[in-house]
Amino acid sequence: MFYDTVRKLITPIVKALYRIEVTGLENEPDETYIVCANHSSFIDPALIACTLKKPVRFVARSTLARFKFMNWLFSKANVITIQRGKGDVSAVRAIIAAVKNGDCVGIFPQGTRKRRILPEPEQAEGGLGLIAASTQVPVLPVSIVTKRLMPGIFRKTKLVVGKPIPASEYLHFCENPTKKQIAEYCFAPVCNEFTRN
């Protein structure tokens, strides 16, 4: 309820401020999916939330929750926090449980914001691959494309929703892929949009 209410309120503002242009929205699945997107700005989750039809539970680093407002917002928006670089098993289990429960989850496989850095498949960390392999739901690539490689107010922001990658594809694109290889494979379509623009 909170997520839907806030999204309705902020969508016109976000779309106007960031001049959002969306392509490929018809690719969003009706079933549960994992969003896989590049990450260069704190506004990225809002851009995605204001674009996709289904509500998305985002994964965020736990250090952000030390701020009272962020802690309150995360709890209200059902954000799943994770400790970066510490093998946070409980957080991974929570993400997997959320997906298996029917929630769409948003993951930035680069692990942290990459300001003004061109996204490359090799930047994807293995966590996305682990979660995808454990849940076997489609992975939906979403590219946040800007000229300066990060969104800016009153500058055009293009969101490209790619075709969902089914488990049958990302689990079998090569023989016995590692979790890191799965993550890179799913992140590659996100990165490819930057060579087209």
Cβ neighbours around 187 below 10 Å, total: 28
Enclosing domain of residue 85: 2-196
Q: What is the pLDDT of residues 77-131, one digit of tens each?
A: 889 999 876 778 999 999 999 999 999 999 999 999 999 999 999 999 999 999 9
What average pLDDT does this structure show over 54-74? 89
Q: How far are the Cα atoms of 33, 53, 141 from residue 27, in angstroms, in the given order?
A: 11, 11, 10
Task: State the Cα–Cα distance between residues 123 and 133, nearest whole angstrom.
Answer: 19
pLDDT at residue 195 in the model: 84
Task: State the Cα–Cα distance between residues 109 and 37, nearest whole angstrom.
Answer: 7
**Strand ranges for 63-103 from DSSP E:** 80-82
Rg (CA), the chain: 16
Residues contacting residue 124 through CB under 8 Å, at least 6 positions apart: 109, 110, 180, 183, 184, 186, 187
Task: State the Cα–Cα distance between residues 89 and 120, nearest whole angstrom.
Answer: 26
pLDDT at residue 22 in the model: 97
Q: What is the pLDDT of residues 5-17, one digit of tens each?
A: 999 999 999 999 9
pLDDT at residue 138 in the model: 98
Indicate the number of domains in the chain: 1
pLDDT tier at 197, thresholds 50, 70, 90: low
Taking Cα atoms as reference points, which of 139, 146, 102 lies closest to residue 28? 139
DSSP tag of 43: T
Burial class of residue 181 (count of CB atoms within 10 Å of its CB; 0-12, 13-18, 19+): middle
Q: What is the pLDDT of residues 130-181, one digit of tens each?
A: 999 999 999 999 999 999 999 999 999 999 999 999 999 999 999 999 999 9
14 φ, ψ (degrees, to nearest 5): -65, -45
What average pLDDT does this structure show over 15-41? 97
Name residue 159's beta-bridge partners. Answer: 22, 144
Strand order in the sheet with 34-37: 20-23, 157-161, 139-145, 34-37, 104-107, 56-61, 80-82
pLDDT at residue 64 in the model: 83
Q: How far are the Cα atoms of 55, 57, 84 from residue 194, in angstroms, in the given order?
A: 26, 25, 26
Residue 117: give its domain's CATH number.
Answer: 3.40.1130.10
Q: What is the pTM of this model?
A: 0.93
> Between 196 and 128, where is the model more confident?
128
The total number of residues shown for the chain amounts to 197
The letter for the amino acid at 3 is Y
pLDDT at residue 190 is higher than 90: yes
